Amino acid sequence: MKKKNDTNYLDKIPVHPDIRWNADENGIVTLEIDNKGVMNRIAQKLLKKPKVSYIHLDKTGSFVWPLIDGKRSIADLAKDVDAHFGEEAHPLYERLAQFFRVLDSYNFINWVE
């Protein structure tokens, strides 16, 4: 039986792992992900897969990414998103939580314990 997690997802504090990133002149953030490991090496040799993948975030993700500092919770970041985008970001908490779930599933972020 799976134990219920009582932690509020919005109280979690994200932090960047060691990922290179940059922002273009429009503020759109691109993450540079190194494709490491044995399977990636094989795919690079046989299937001509790239050594680095470039992940382009949308405008909301590009706004949030530089704000991730290991000190602010998702709820704190939501306040900044709401102040910047207003009604355009709604449903705010659901969209932000999904954004962080996706980042977490690809190991693009870590969590402060």
Residue 88 gets which letter from DSSP? Answer: G
Percentage with pLDDT > 70 across the chain: 94
Statement: the pTM of the whole predicted model exceeds 0.85: no
Task: Kindly state the average pLDDT of the residues 29-56.
Answer: 85
- Phi, psi for 78 (deg, rounded to 5): -60, -35
* Rounded Cα–Cα distance for residues 14 and 38 (Å): 29
| pLDDT at residue 4 greater than cutoff 70 | no
Per-residue pLDDT at 5 = 58
Residue extents of the structural domains in the chain:
11-30+58-112
47 pLDDT higher than 90: no
**H or E element in which residue 10 lies:** none
What is the sign of the dihedral through the CA atoms of 80, 81, 86 and 92? negative
Q: Give backbone dihedrals phi and psi of 56, rounded to 5 degrees, phi first.
A: -95, 120
Question: pLDDT band for position 7 (50/70/90)?
Answer: low
What integer is the mean pLDDT of 4-8?
Answer: 64
pLDDT of residue 84: 95
Cis peptide before 91 (omega within 30 of 0): yes
- Calculate what percentage of the chain has a pLDDT beyond 90: 65
So what's the pLDDT on residue 6? 59
Question: Please, what is the average pLDDT of the chain?
Answer: 89
